[in-house]
Amino acid sequence: MLSSQRKWVVVGLLSLGMVIAYIDRANLSVVLALKEFQQTFHPSDTERGLLNSAFFWSYALLQIPAGWIVDRYGVKFPYAIGFLFWTIFSAVTGMVQSTSQLVALRFLLGCGESIVGPASLRWIRFNCKEQERGLAVGIYLAGAKVGPAIGVPVTAMLVTAFGWRVMFLIAGGVGFLWLIAWLLLVKNDDRQLETTANAAVSAPSVPFARLMVSPVMWGILLGTFCYSYFLFFCVTWLPAYFVEYRHLSLTSMGLYTMFSFGGMAVVATGAGWAADQMIRRGRDAVKVRKGFIICGLVVASTELIGGLTDSRSVALFFAIFSLAGLGLATANLWALSQTMIPGAAIGRISGVQNCASNLSGIVAPILSGWLKQITGSYTAPMQAIWIFLVVGIFSYAVLVRPRYLPPAISP
């Protein structure tokens, strides 16, 4: 186990890696709102949704293989290789001359980034104790919110200064500094830590196939999909919603996007820390983390108020409030899986959960674009988000219960 100081430095590095990953996947949403891009490529709303989703086709489908890779070969070098590939693909996106080339590069970007979730969550699982895990996951996943929060305004600034093609080159090139730090700071020892951890667990492990048919796992996967549907709508369509529906300038859009995702990052980190404190004081870890998840989904459902109002100020308030509220669920949603399923291969479990999460990255942009195109408004896409959040609340409240776990790994 790492020293405390070094451990939290690496957690911070994992979070920074997530920031870079989300900047590289979210910067296209800003470009799609540009008149220059639209005049060059002439995409329909449905095609804009397709472009936003192309990244998630490969990213979602490769989560389980990526989980197997880090379980088999460890975290350090698979993550480094994936990071190298995605920064290259991000940088060359500025050279595209057709929508088909853009779709292909977004697909390849998803291939490179597919390693992020399984590798990061596996590292946290074997280097952070249960009482630290909520905060560690919260810090790591705060990067997923800080990325869009700073990425959208920075992207808008770079586009304004240099154009969208140069922006992609700059965004991709910055990542190489992170890669150097990763190779210098991270040890290649998580497989040894896993062996030690498994020897200390009294409960026998459960076959992966048996776990996958349990109501708990399906509740987690369905709930994760619903949570992420709202998140990925915001990653892919929120900038356009602010510009086209609420008539914000490009600069104002960047600021409000920053406030929305920045608020979520702060709440996610704070909620993870608060859950850890409650568990340290003797509260049941499953009940605590599940309670935070359900509360987060309930607060997030207030997005419907903003979507239905004619008041721009009310709409902007609930855009920030609902997404920040979703942060209550963020860290605990991922930490709960590690709490309830201690004996399983964490890379594969994280990969399956991340696959469910990112399938919504395929569905949310396409469905939102289609609903907007056939209705001519953002109201129907907002209503769809609310329906998914309600389903997520049901999944965690009804299906994710310890008594539904296979007996061999009941905590």
- Rounded to an integer, the average pLDDT of 102-108 is 88
Residue 410 has a pLDDT of 46
Confidence of residue 289 (pLDDT cuts 50, 70, 90): very high
CB 102 within 8 A of CB 27: no
| Residue that wins the pLDDT comparison between 372 and 45 | 372
For residues 267-288, average pLDDT: 90
Span 60-80, average pLDDT: 88
Instruction: Give the DSSP letter string of 375-388.
Output: HSSSHHHHHHHHHH
* In the chain, where the domains are located: 7-190+206-404
In this prediction the pTM is 0.71
Q: In CATH terms, is domain 7-190+206-404 a member of 1.20.1250.20?
A: yes
Question: What is the overall mean pLDDT for the chain?
Answer: 84
Q: Higher model confidence: residue 153 or residue 397?
A: 397
Instruction: Say which residue, 147 or 368, is predicted with more confidence.
Output: 368
Place of tokens 């890779």: 69
Query: Residues 315-373: pLDDT tens digits?
Result: 889 988 998 899 899 888 888 887 777 555 566 777 788 888 888 888 888 899 899 98
First-to-final CA distance of the chain: 23
Task: Give the list of residues 6+ apart from residue 270 with CB closer than 8 angstroms, or none.
Answer: 138, 327
The CA-based dihedral angle spanning residues 95, 99, 105, 106, taken in that order and rounded to the nearest 10 degrees: 130
pLDDT of residue 330: 85
Q: Which of the four pLDDT bands, split at 50, 70 and 90, describes residue 221?
A: very high
* pLDDT on residue 241: 84
